[in-house]
Amino acid sequence: MPHCPTCQKEFQPDDGPAMPFCSERCRMIDLGRWLDEKFGLPVEPEEGGVREPQADADRRG
């Protein structure tokens, strides 16, 4: 028997209209995860753009 990639349950292939998932619900859950990975990228702060406004004032020379 195959097992569902979403819920890991074994199921009868004949009963699975949403192959390779056990049900339409599990199919949608997997699709949701896939979309999360594609569009749910974490926002990273930009680095290297920090400027010290007083940098010139401390310079000796």
Q: How many CB atoms lie within 10 A of CB 25?
A: 12
Give how far Cα 56 sits from Cα of 20, 47, 48, Å: 65, 22, 19
Comparing CA positions, the residue from 8, 10, 2 lying closest to residue 30 is 8
Q: Does 7 bind Zn ion (CB under 5 A)?
A: yes
Which stretch, 15-23, 37-45, 53-61, contacts Zn ion (CB under 5 A)? Answer: 15-23
Q: How far is the CB of 14 from Zn ion (least distance, A)?
A: 15
Choose, by CB under 5 A, the member of 1, 22, 42, 45 that binds Zn ion: 22
Q: Does 27 bind Zn ion (CB under 5 A)?
A: no
